[in-house]
Structure 1
């Protein structure tokens, strides 16, 4: 019997999080059990990470097999799993080259640095400005937190990085007013995740692409949360048929094992020459072995088409469940990145709803102040969807 308790967090961990008052210890598929053996249905997916649920046998086998071969060799050497994964990603996307790292923040850091280096090499040192959007989220490094459009994450850490501006999302006129010959890059989430699961409009992404072309600026799509099948296509840009110059991904890519990737075209990638960027653990054999298996499973018609089917099941069940309580004003998102916008009478009770759901055996997320976010496994069982919604309703009844 473990002597570890939730109170140990308050004694030993730097308090940058406010974790739930239970500790998950085991997971299988879309279910999790805590220290007391209590079962939860997981609609969080580890914040859109556990693309194939918990302890998927194929991922467990891939990890164990690689662990008995080679764990780490550093960037002084390459390795077979990394090369295999790079080929799979570039074959499946617009990209010619891949850079591997350990997280979405690192992938965005690499993307932003590459955009500035590309502009510097081609157009000179005056072309360094980056345009982001309000309420965006791109990571927690100094560069990415400055690029993200939420001051609560960047305030209090000293001077901001120079040359970064923020405009409203889905506002093409604002983007056109902000962009100039000094702009080296525009960074966008095809679906703003952390701020409320807000999809981009088709005309907006098309217009931003045209503006970037006009001003020789690179278009970066932050697909950390939307990539690797989350929206029902391998990457969200494929819904819009708008091709970025650089794309960042993480979360789903490793199915729970930490890995990030930056994808880009050959003529851009060459500006990251030897020594200009790097990471000790990026592209390590363990992470890449797992990610290869994730790609093999997710990038199939069965899984991707199943995401859309599950999306419809979720939307129908949520609308039916929420109607008697006037709970949701809108259900939005794509695939299995779903935002449930709370009505005015409920929007101040988001934290209460999440806690009540946990008390009734359901794990859910928040996105922005008034949105419940669901990002479950892409292969969640239909019975788990229905049971999870039933538990959600019980939680709402408890709050009446």
Structure 2
């Protein structure tokens, strides 16, 4: 344990356990720890660092905005806030929804989901249908929508009237949604469950079911949005989906804390003055950061590159027989191992100079910066067999 890790253990609440590394700097898709070791960051701050570390466009945008206008609260407005809201509505309209709507800015994904949760209450209904395996945040409202019992148990009773159904099962969804349902909340891909991808047409069927019962369709794109899936919103890969609510965060600010709740169509007018608020949400600096991220993704063609590079990584990872399944779209990739050795694989990858994530005992998650180079991708694929060799006992395959 390094000195910095020891200080961490003494000063920080033990909510995360002991972190594996003490990182001190980063550049692009690379990070360095306090012992000088270098790693290729294939987790990207859990799908956050879209532009990697220290991207000059992001640094310049934040610096310029801080020198111009920092925090002002929501008693006032700023141009970056309005411009970003307009841009997000434009981007969501390039998918499968009209883009006619309104935006509420937050500081995180959980807060974006809290805002959307409040929107659903304004329908006059309280019942929510969510999916097994879902993860929507750790605040009390978002936690009520999150399926994992280990997260929920210590804090029950939780708010809301929430029913969980199997993810990807349209029949189960149809059976659970009634004329008393306020909303259905779904992730286009379930990231924390190990990157689970639903069957083709599932989201479109969810739209049909919710429309039939007058319920809102709420898509949590916090991990999948902002280019991660090779499109601005992952739901755009499933034609026929026009959600009422879309929540985004993570990659939106490229590492600067910001989230957003996009309410579309009639849902845009459900929250009224006094219904909700935030002190820091939508501050000029965070909005300037998000505009810079979007600008780089557009200027450098990162949506197309994400789709191509993601396919290359999935194909390469699947080539080893100790990987039984590879899932995902773009640069959100999940794989299943032939044995419950994901912690050992993550440790072996770290020892080889690569950071990956093990969300479940048999699954590995990869969510690198969208600026990951071909050289780094090739290096990881070349090292992958030896990483598995180091993690798997000789009699396990």
Paired residues of 1:248 and 1:260 also in contact (CA < 8 A)? yes
Report the secondary structure of 1:192's partner residue: coil
Report the secondary structure of 1:367's partner residue: strand
**CA offset at residue 19 of structure 1?**
4.4
Residue range with higher mean Cα deviation, 287-296 or 362-371: 362-371
Partner in structure 1 of residue 329 of structure 2: 334
- Between the aligned partners of 1:381 and 1:398, the Cα distance in structure 2 is 25
What's the TM-score, normalizing by structure 1?
Answer: 0.93
Matches within 5 A, 1:229-268: 229-241=227-239, 242-268=241-267
Residue range with higher mean Cα deviation, 284-293 or 11-20: 11-20
Partner in structure 2 of residue 283 of structure 1: 282
Partner in structure 1 of residue 362 of structure 2: 370
CA spacing shift, 1:179–1:300, aligned 2, 3 Å: farther
Paired residues of 1:257 and 1:290 also in contact (CA < 8 A)? yes
Matches within 5 A, 1:1-400: 5-93=4-92, 94=97, 95=99, 96-117=101-122, 119-120=123-124, 127-241=125-239, 242-299=241-298, 302-320=301-319, 323=320, 326-343=321-338, 346=339, 348-399=340-391, 400=393
**CA offset at residue 266 of structure 1?**
4.6
**CA offset at residue 160 of structure 1?**
2.5
CA spacing shift, 1:289–1:104, aligned 2, 3 Å: same
Partner in structure 2 of residue 123 of structure 1: none
Q: List per-residue Cα deviations over 1:8-32 (Å, max 9, x = no partner).
A: 1211111111344321111111111
CA spacing shift, 1:177–1:21, aligned 2, 3 Å: closer
- Between the aligned partners of 2:81 and 2:237, the Cα distance in structure 1 is 27
**CA offset at residue 318 of structure 1?**
1.3
- Between the aligned partners of 1:201 and 1:21, the Cα distance in structure 2 is 35
- Between the aligned partners of 2:364 and 2:146, the Cα distance in structure 1 is 21
Paired residues of 2:203 and 2:235 also in contact (CA < 8 A)? no
- Between the aligned partners of 2:207 and 2:20, the Cα distance in structure 1 is 45
- Between the aligned partners of 2:67 and 2:383, the Cα distance in structure 1 is 41
Over the aligned positions, Cα root-mean-square deviation in angstroms equals 1.5
Runs of 4+ in 1 over 2 A off after TM superposition: 18-22, 388-400
CA spacing shift, 1:84–1:172, aligned 2, 3 Å: same
Structure 1 residues not aligned, in runs of 5+: 121-126
Paired residues of 2:341 and 2:361 also in contact (CA < 8 A)? no
- Between the aligned partners of 2:265 and 2:143, the Cα distance in structure 1 is 28
